[in-house]
Amino acid sequence: MTAIPLGVPRRLVEFTIDGKEARVPEGSTVLDACRAAGKDIPTLCHGDTLTPKNACRVCVVEVEGSRTLVPACSRKAEPGMTVHTDTERARHSRKVVLELLASSVDLSTTPQVAGWIKEYEAKPDRFGPEAARLNEAPKIDNDLYVRDYDKCILCYKCVDACGDQWQNTFAISVAGRGFDARIAVEHDAPLTDSACVYCGNCIEVCPTGALSFKSEFDMRAAGTWDESQQTETTTVCAYCGVGCNLTLHVQDNEIVKVTSPHDNPVTHGNLCIKGRFGYQHVQNRG
Ligand code: SF4
Ligand code: SF4
Ligand code: FES
């Protein structure tokens, strides 16, 4: 009989969130506990497959005894902690973060953000039309994906996915300082002259659509991108024996993009160029 290895049982941590008792496995974050309790804490730089970067601070909560607000996405739950998620101080901080981001970055393709802006009564317009923006045209230098840094919130998720957390290609990094800081490949070259291997793992983690499939970019520009008309089917990649899971997004009987389930214990949402982009032969029905 084959022995099935079981995960090491984890101790439960007990604490309170908004006056109610919470119990989560040791090692869970405050965000994990809040989500388990059904609370909608906004997040942008948090990635379920990446180590927290604490870059955006839109997820802050109040913890009794802590002088500063605490990022829920990275703070581990501790026994006896008293967490308040909806205080005036936390709400005000989230509001200002949303205002600063939305006044300087195009968040039109960031899921959920419009709802948060409404909920927190954020007014990005109050900084006036002169608020600093990148004002840069999308970089379209290959047939697979587009980089539109007007939509970039500098969350570093793409850098971490391309670097030591997953892909180990290190094709992209942060260049410049202060307002000039931006994500770039070495020497700000076109992607085609860089170390990029077109795995698309950076697109998978980008929270704003700054990195997008060329297929999606073109359809959005043509006004034909319609997620309500898309189906998602998860299947097994046929290119090699690893057996990665592919989720095919299909609209009008055509594959429009390929993602991969983040909860897969082998690939964690990552793919190679063939699995991510090599689907045209499926559609060649002529
Ligand atoms: S496609 Fe892959 S190799 Fe290229 S920049 Fe993105 S993560 Fe790095
Ligand atoms: S391109 Fe996307 S993933 Fe990369 S830093 Fe900008 S917003 Fe984050
Ligand atoms: S989501 Fe927690 S700091 Fe960005």
Tell whether domain 145-283 is in CATH 2.20.25.90: yes
Average pLDDT over residues 161-183: 93
Instruction: Note the ligand closest to the C-alpha atom of 52.
Output: 3
Average pLDDT, the chain: 94
In the chain the beta strands, taken as DSSP E runs, fall at 12-17, 20-25, 60-63, 70-71, 82-84, 145-147, 172-175, 182-185, 211-213, 231-236, 245-251, 254-259
pLDDT of residue 267: 93
Least confident of 4-18, 116-130, 134-148: 4-18
Q: How far is the CA of 149 from the centre of ligand 2 (A)?
A: 8
Q: Look at residue 179 in the predicted model and tell me its pLDDT.
A: 80
- 267 Cβ neighbours under 8 A, 6+ residues apart: 242, 244, 245, 260
pLDDT at 187: 87
Question: Atom 8 of ligand 1 has which residue's CA nearest to it?
Answer: 162
Domain boundaries, the chain: 9-130, 145-283
Look at residues 44, 61, 65, 27 and name the one whose alpha carbon lies nearest to residue 116: 44
Question: How is domain 9-130 classified at the architecture level of CATH?
Answer: Roll (3.10)
Confidence of residue 130 (pLDDT cuts 50, 70, 90): confident
The per-residue pLDDT for 68 is 97
Roughly how many angstroms between the first and final C-alpha of the chain, as a whole number?
50
CB 47 within 8 Å of CB 112:
no
Nearest-CA residue for ligand 1 atom 7 is 162
Helix H or strand E encompassing 214: helix 214-222
Please name the residue whose Cα sits nearest to atom 6 of ligand 1.
Answer: 202
Write down how long the chain is: 286
Is residue 83 a contact partner of residue 16, using CB atoms and an 8 Å limit? yes
pLDDT band at 1 (very low <50, low <70, confident <90, very high): very low
pLDDT digits (tens, 9 = 90+) for 42-67: 999 999 999 999 999 999 999 999 99
Per-residue pLDDT tens over the stretch 179-191: 888 999 988 889 9
Question: From ligand 3's centre to the CA of 43, what distance in Å?
Answer: 5
Q: Ligand 1 center to residue 201 CA distance, Å?
A: 6
